């Protein structure tokens, strides 16, 4: 009898283990598929935007009317920004790609400054036309290389998650058409004559200057694993997958992953100083039980734990069972919008399931904040009288060209909507207007 009971118990345990293993495997496969879909979308968007960029620059060279030249330059600037956004969504952090990112930023910077000036009094000169011609040729080379990679992706069924794994393992021996293609693009843009952009603003931080305030002694893999165990309260026997960024990465980091009970965790830590850039916890979420207000308190707690004391909440949004909060650090009561941090909270129990301080570490630097020329009341006169102003504060934001500007941020209501308006604190110029959302609408 005992033998049969033991057999039954073992059988149940075997079935349970098989089910648990299948579920873990299935969850992992779903995450991989989701990541691959996001990578593929970003890559094909990048190829499309570079195609359009090439066409628009060519059209600009053929224009002879000042009235149509300025809007065309704005379109090129917009496309270069979209291309930069596409690149940032690809797993290229482990691959040297800073020259191409800088090249795209330079295109946007050049075209934006041309678009906003008075072309009647200051038309394009011969040197600037030569610059456009060089940009046109360069965009064509990049376009052809990306099209070649895209053809290989389609014909051979190449996967971006395999690129990510190859880069993380620093495997450059195994042929990979995606890595080879992007390396070719980087090699080409590395040879581009940077003197074309000598007259652009020198105050803007280049891509290579980013993260310059990430400090501290280099940490070892053992120290990273200890940090991860402490961060998530894990036991020492838990297996932690750890990968180090490859040579030439913009910021040397460690990427860690682990599975604990029904959760899958990911974290990125800087090699210098062991700063936590971001982490994410994937698990099934239950029905929302806590309010956004209570969730915000939980987000503030984790910010203090990570060493961020002087922060103010910029935005709060609810997406089904999660609350998403964006914070900015402050300096003498001035809100520094580029130095922002995002926290994601599960609304079923208040757990922190997402944290991202990459923007903070990328943009943070010592700033000399000057006194504004306009008072609050003077700046308020430049806000639409249709809005009922509820709150205001001084803020540093970035304009479309990436320049930091001291502004007054006004929060105003109109009907049932809330708007955020940024007014230049020196000139009264309206820099930016945004409609605020608290809860994501559900459609269908």
| CB of 217 closer than 8 Å to CB of 271 | no
Render pLDDT for 102-156 as a digit per residue (tens, 0 to 9): 777 777 777 777 777 777 777 778 888 888 888 888 888 888 888 887 777 777 7
Of residues 247 and 24, the one with the higher pLDDT is 247
| CB of 390 closer than 8 Å to CB of 411 | yes
Render pLDDT for 38-63 as a digit per residue (tens, 0 to 9): 777 777 788 888 888 888 888 777 76
Distance CA 185, CA 97 (A): 9
Q: Write down the pLDDT at residue 12.
A: 54
Q: Write down the pLDDT at residue 175.
A: 57
Mean of pLDDT over the chain: 77
Q: Please state, in angstroms and as integers, the Cα–Cα distance from residue 424 to each residue in 338, 406, 408, following that order.
A: 16, 6, 6
Of the candidate ranges 20-34, 178-192, 371-385, 402-416, the one whose mean pLDDT is the lowest: 20-34
Has residue 75 got a pLDDT over 70? Answer: yes
Of residues 188 and 74, the one with the higher pLDDT is 74
Distance CA 28, CA 22 (A): 10
Has residue 336 got a pLDDT over 90? Answer: yes
Render pLDDT for 184-237 as a digit per residue (tens, 0 to 9): 777 666 555 444 444 443 334 444 456 777 888 999 999 999 999 998 888 888
**Top-level class of domain 285-364:** alpha beta
Handedness of CA 149, 152, 157, 163 (dihedral sign): negative
Sequence ranges of the domains in the chain: 22-200, 218-284, 285-364, 376-436
- CB-based contacts of 205: which residues, under 8 Å, 6+ apart? 212, 363, 365
| CB of 303 closer than 8 Å to CB of 293 | no
Q: What percent of the chain has pLDDT over 70?
A: 75
How many beta carbons lie within 10 A of that of residue 381, not counting itself?
A: 10
What ranges in 209-276 are assigned the alpha helix state H?
A: 221-232
- Give the architecture (CATH level 2) of 218-284: Roll (3.10)
Q: Write down the pLDDT at residue 431.
A: 84
- Would 218-284 and 285-364 be classified into the same CATH topology? yes
Q: What percent of the chain has pLDDT over 90?
A: 20
Render pLDDT for 149-188 as a digit per residue (tens, 0 to 9): 777 777 777 776 676 666 555 555 555 667 777 777 776 6
Q: Write down the pLDDT at residue 393.
A: 94
Of residues 34 and 83, the one with the higher pLDDT is 83
Q: Which residue has the tokens 């945004």?
A: 434
């Amino acid at each position: 009898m005992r033998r049969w009971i033991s057999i039954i118990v073992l059988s149940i345990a075997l079935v349970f283990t098989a089910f648990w293993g299948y579920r873990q495997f299935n969850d992992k496969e779903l995450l991989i598929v989701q990541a691959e879909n996001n990578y593929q979308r970003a890559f094909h968007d990048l190829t499309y935007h570079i195609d359009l960029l090439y066409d628009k620059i060519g059209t600009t060279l053929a224009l002879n009317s000042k009235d149509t030249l300025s809007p065309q330059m704005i379109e090129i600037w917009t496309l270069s920004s979209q291309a930069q956004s596409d690149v940032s969504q690809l797993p290229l952090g482990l691959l040297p790609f800073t020259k191409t990112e800088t090249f795209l930023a330079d295109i946007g910077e050049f075209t934006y400054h041309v678009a906003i000036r008075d072309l009647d009094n200051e038309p394009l000169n011969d040197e600037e036309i030569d610059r456009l011609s060089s940009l046109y040729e360069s965009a064509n080379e990049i376009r052809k290389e990306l099209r070649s990679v895209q053809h290989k992706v389609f014909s051979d069924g190449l996967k971006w998650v395999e690129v990510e794994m190859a880069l993380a393992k620093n495997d450059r021996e195994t042929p990979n058409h995606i890595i080879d293609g992007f390396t070719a693009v980087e090699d080409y843009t590395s040879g581009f004559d940077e003197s074309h952009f000598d007259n652009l603003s020198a105050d803007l931080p280049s891509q290579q200057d980013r993260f310059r305030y990430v400090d501290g002694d280099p940490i070892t893999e053992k120290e990273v694993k200890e940090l991860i165990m402490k961060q998530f309260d894990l036991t020492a026997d838990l297996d932690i997958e750890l990968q180090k960024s490859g040579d030439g990465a913009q910021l040397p980091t460690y990427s860690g992953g682990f599975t604990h009970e029904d959760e899958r965790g990911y974290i990125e830590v800087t090699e210098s100083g062991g700063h936590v850039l971001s982490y994410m916890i994937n698990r099934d979420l239950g029905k929302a039980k806590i309010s956004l207000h209570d969730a915000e308190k939980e987000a503030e707690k984790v910010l203090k734990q990570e060493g961020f004391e002087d922060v103010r909440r910029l935005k709060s949004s609810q997406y089904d069972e999660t609350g998403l909060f964006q914070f900015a650090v402050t300096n003498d009561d001035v809100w520094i919008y580029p130095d922002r941090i995002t926290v994601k909270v599960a609304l079923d129990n208040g757990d922190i399931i997402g944290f991202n301080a990459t923007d903070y570490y990328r943009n943070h630097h010592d700033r000399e904040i000057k006194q504004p020329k306009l008072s609050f009341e003077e700046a308020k006169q430049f806000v639409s009288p249709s809005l009922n102003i509820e709150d205001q504060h001084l803020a540093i934001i970035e304009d479309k060209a990436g320049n930091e500007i001291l502004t007054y941020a006004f929060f105003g209501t109109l009907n049932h909507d809330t708007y955020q308006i940024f007014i230049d604190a020196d000139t009264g110029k309206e820099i930016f207007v945004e409609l605020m959302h608290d809860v994501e609408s559900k459609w269908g």
